[in-house]
Amino acid sequence: MDKFLVQGSGPLNGEVRIGGAKNSALKLMAASLLAEGSTSLLNVPDITDVAIMIELLEAMGVRVQREGHRIDIDVPAEIDPVAPYSLVERMRASIVVLGPLLSRIGRAQVAMPGGDDFGSRPIDMHLQGLEQLGATFSYEHGDINGRAEQLLGTEVFLEFPSVGATENLLMAAVLAEGTTVIENAAREPEIGDLANFLLKMGALIDGIGTSRLRIEGVTVLRPVTYEVIADRIEAATYLAALAVCGGELRLQGARPDHMEMLLRKLEEMGMACQENDSGLEAKVRDRLKAVDISTLPYPGLATDYKPFLVTALCVSHGAGMVTENIFAGRFRYIDELVRMGAEIRAEGRHAVVRGVERLSGAPVRAHDIRAGAALVIAGLAADGETVISDAHHVDRGYEDLAGKLSSVGAQVTRV
Ligand code: UD1
């Protein structure tokens, strides 16, 4: 059994280094398939999802070497364009190899991802967009088989600014013939990072950071060396720990410009946040005040922050209403928080959280990456010991969560 053992802690004090963004690194690794030769990525976090993406690239015949936070990806001329179920099942984000494979070699066989704890997560927008660029798909034995002679640029209008669909289309469009316009594109900072990486490889992209991406196809891209942006969700995790424990933290390498809405919310709750030369510093002196929270696509409040904000609300003064607008089923960890004495009533996309003075340590289970990290934070605000089982979910997205929290005074161990 892999677990976190957490004791009520606080105040926290010191500095935490924020690593590279998981949700960017995975996509840059997939995008490296677009150029033959050796691409190097710097500031790649040492997490399980990156290890799975390495396995996926290796299964395609790509040579990958990892040293600390650097990975060297050597892409051969011939790629075996298959993403097997055994890997896609472990990491849904594997689906982002579809776009690069279709544009670089015109073939892809990718297992259909199943459902997960967020509820049903269709990929219809990825497939429809790629079809508009000229790809065709057939479905057999749980696999999606994609074909494309030559992708042709066109205008694609996304029904919703899906992060994954925007990324797949962007990676397909850079080697398509002619101009592609993606309307209602997602604007998350990780998409900006992917676009900047592609620019460095020689792609032509306008409108980075906006909801209208205009891509002029080129015939070939070159391998490059590139540094992954900081993980705003990891930074949010430590801010939430500070929110419940009080104290003062410096988040080295954090990008406050990627987290504006979150910082506004935390300030509204009573946290003092300040950009500094090396990232961000934040202070909490008193118990925070409750606020209402509503998740939205970027620049709105990210759905990935929500478990942390709900946990902070659990011990804030007053009551807050939480509304989930991105994923239907992202409230499962709430039952675990209730086991710890939280006062939460959830129905459909809404939850009302009434703050209590302290939570009460209990055995709980991590259902996914962020929910698991949120339970670790809840444990910091609880009397006695909290035991969080299925800790491996947390390893998918965090490098040494227990070590980093311990270094600033929290009592967390990983067993
Ligand atoms: C990415 C992030 C995830 C984050 C999410 C929203 C990665 C690896 N994951 O997930 O952490 O929470 O963005 O910011 O980067 N949808 C469809 N059809 C589609 C695609 C999406 O209906 O073809 C729906 C989804 O079910 C969901 C919504 O659109 O309700 C947003 O999903 P999307 O933005 O695509 O999220 P992911 O890229 O899967």
What confidence tens digit (pLDDT) does each residue in 191-226 have? Answer: 999 999 999 999 999 999 999 999 999 999 999 999
- Separation of 163 CA from ligand 1 center, angstroms? 5
Type of residue at 246: G
Q: What confidence tens digit (pLDDT) does each residue in 261-314 have?
A: 999 999 999 999 999 999 999 999 999 999 999 999 999 999 999 999 999 999
Could you give the CA distance from residue 233 to residue 305 in angstroms, rounded to a whole number? 7
77 with 53: CB under 8 angstroms?
no
* Confidence (pLDDT) at 105: 96
Could you give the CA distance from residue 316 to residue 356 in angstroms, rounded to a whole number? 7
* Confidence (pLDDT) at 330: 66
Predicted confidence band at 332 (pLDDT cuts at 50, 70, 90)? confident
- Separation of 164 CA from ligand 1 center, angstroms? 6
Predicted confidence band at 13 (pLDDT cuts at 50, 70, 90)? very high
Tokens of 301: 């409040």
Q: What is the value of pTM for the model shown?
A: 0.97
Could you give the CA distance from residue 315 to residue 240 in angstroms, rounded to a whole number? 11
362 with 342: CB under 8 angstroms?
no
Which residue stretches of 159-231 are H helix?
Answer: 163-173, 189-201
* Confidence (pLDDT) at 331: 74
Name the 3-class secondary structure at 171. Answer: helix
Could you give the CA distance from residue 24 to residue 192 in angstroms, rounded to a whole number? 9
**Residue whose CA is at the smallest distance from ligand 1 atom 5:** 163
Q: What confidence tens digit (pLDDT) does each residue in 384-394 have?
A: 999 999 999 99
Q: What confidence tens digit (pLDDT) does each residue in 89-125 have?
A: 999 999 999 999 999 999 999 999 865 666 667 899 9
143 catalytic per annotation? no
Average pLDDT, the chain: 96
Q: What confidence tens digit (pLDDT) does each residue in 40-59 have?
A: 999 999 999 999 999 999 99
Percentage of the chain with pLDDT > 70? 98
**Residue whose CA is at the smallest distance from ligand 1 atom 33:** 162
Percentage of the chain with pLDDT > 90? 95
| Ligand 1 pocket, residue 233 CB under 6 Å | no
Q: What is the DSSP secondary structure assignment for residue 272, as one 8-state letter?
A: E
* Confidence (pLDDT) at 328: 77
CB-CB neighbours of 69 under 10 Å:
18
Ordered domains of the chain (ranges, CATH): 3-19+230-414 (3.65.10.10), 22-227 (3.65.10.10)
Kindly state the average pLDDT of the residues 8-35: 98
Could you give the CA distance from residue 15 to residue 408 in angstroms, rounded to a whole number? 7
* Confidence (pLDDT) at 119: 62
Q: Which of 2, 46, 116, 292 is catalytic?
A: 116
- Separation of 198 CA from ligand 1 center, angstroms? 21
Could you give the CA distance from residue 226 to residue 245 in angstroms, rounded to a whole number? 36
CB-CB neighbours of 214 under 10 Å:
19
Could you give the CA distance from residue 204 to residue 218 in angstroms, rounded to a whole number? 7
